[in-house]
Amino acid sequence: MLKRSPLPYSFGPFMAVPSGNNADSVFSGGFRSTRRRVLFLISFAAAAIFVLLAASLESGAVRLADRGTAEIVSGFRAPLLTSVMFFVTNLGAAAAVGLLSLVAVTVLIKNGRLFDALFLAAAVFLSLASGEFLKEALAVARPPFSLIPAAGGSFPSGHTLAIASFALPAALIFWRSGASRPMKIFTVAAAGAAIFAVAVSRLYLGVHWLSDVAGSFLLAVFWTAVLAAVWQSLVKKPETSSINH
């Protein structure tokens, strides 16, 4: 009897874990089912809050929060800080995120992580596509005091959505890699910092309201969570098989 050893890793978001006895427990049906439910719950919550926010854009509470935040942020404007914000905001530009995504997808594919590559590409594409559709459909007016020209609707923020749609799934993939825990924590923190920095830069430059960047983050969370849950369903646990002679 010749036993075929299980694959060393099974890839996909939340999926890259060592094989063997530990993998059997991690991939157990109950555990995976619970994790999928949590991911779907997160996606549902993000979608519900996003819809509620989009429906309340003209409400007094949202307008008050938007204008109040804009006034506070504009009070910090200074020549040096403005230059920094110009640089930071470009991290969320479509060209920059597209290049980052291309590099990440290429590296993942070269390392045999096709499911992770597809997950990342799908998250970025669907987030940006839905964001552009909503911009045109809702046609929310931008703030009247921007420091840079900006075209199109204000809600949701395209730059914030772009960086979030890349950083969230990328951090999720890295968290399930074989890296050390401190490195995982650092990477997740860096992803969060990048999203926050770009969001603040959009507020500082006066091209978006607070509700715009909040909506972008919720939309990115929705696509990341729902795609991760779907990938969990598609990627199967590697099974040990035997060949009898």
Domains of the chain (ranges; CATH) run 39-73+80-234 (1.20.144)
Residues 39 and 28: their CA atoms lie apart, in Å, by: 17
User: Per residue in 209-244, pLDDT tens?
Assistant: 999 999 999 999 999 999 999 887 776 544 433 334
Label the pairing between strands 2-4 and 241-243.
Answer: antiparallel
In the chain, where do the E strands start and end? 2-4, 241-243
In the prediction, which pLDDT does 35 show?
A: 83
The C-alpha atoms of residue 169 and residue 113 are separated, in whole angstroms, by: 14
> How far is 12 from 120, CA to CA, in rounded Å?
10
Does a cis peptide bond (omega within 30 degrees of 0) precede residue 6? no
What is the chain's pLDDT, residue by residue, as a tens digit (245 residues)? 444 333 333 344 444 443 333 333 333 345 567 888 899 999 999 999 999 999 999 889 999 999 999 999 988 999 999 999 999 999 999 999 999 999 999 999 999 999 999 999 999 999 999 999 999 999 999 998 888 888 889 999 999 999 999 999 999 999 888 888 999 999 999 999 999 999 999 999 999 999 999 999 999 999 999 999 988 777 654 443 333 44
- Residue type at position 143: P
**Dihedrals phi, psi of 18, to nearest 5 degrees:** -60, 150
pTM of the predicted model as reported, rounded to 2 decimal places:
0.82
Task: Kindly state the tokens that stand for 244.
Answer: 């009898």
